[in-house]
Structure 1
Amino acid sequence: MHPVVVYTLSRAGLFGVTLALLWLLGLQNPLILLLASFLISGVASYVLLSRQRDAMSARISDKLDRPKPQDD
């Protein structure tokens, strides 16, 4: 699967899990729930998804560095 898709789905899944856990722990205010989930999942993804982030970065870098074909 494409590394960008894997990383994006992993980030979304991590956010969803964090959101559900905080809600189950009793955090009911929607604004605080979303902000806390965003911050916690962001820190967690920095630690847990480093391999996926590196793969995504390499894929994007390879695409940008590839020479474009000449239209003659």
Structure 2
Amino acid sequence: MRPVLVYTLCRILLFGVTLGVLALLGLQNPLVLILASFLISGIASYVLLSKQRDAMSERLSHKIDQPKPQDD
């Protein structure tokens, strides 16, 4: 569960940083600010968080591939 948590927290942090930077740059409209932050942080996370995304993907696929215990 740790890789999923790390990736999610990094995405939230990256969104917050992007939101703060755009607000400091003078973007005033809240809707535009949130949409621009979402778009920019999404693109940045694709590049910056590739290792975390791969670790999360590996963890999730390993969990899915495990056989479920039989209840008899």
In the superposition, the TM-score normalised over structure 1's length comes to 0.95
1:43 equivalent in alignment to 2:46 = no
Query: In the alignment, which residue of structure 2 is the partner of 1:61?
Result: 61
Partner of 2:26: 26
1:6 counterpart = 2:9: no
Measured against aligned partners, the alpha-carbon deviations of 1:14-69 in whole angstroms (never above 9, x if no partner) come to 00000000000100110110010000000000000000000000000000000112
- Root-mean-square deviation (CA), in Å? 1.0
Q: Which amino acid aligns with 2:35?
A: L
| Unpaired segments ≥5 residues, structure 1 | none
Quick one: distance in 1 between partners of 2:21 and 2:11? Answer: 15
Q: Would you say how many aligned residue pairs link Structure 1 and Structure 2? A: 72
Partner SS state of residue 61, structure 2: helix
Query: Which runs of at least 4 in structure 1 moved beyond 2 Å after TM superposition?
Result: none
Normalising to structure 2: TM-score of the pair? 0.95
Question: Equivalent pairs: percent with the same residue?
Answer: 76
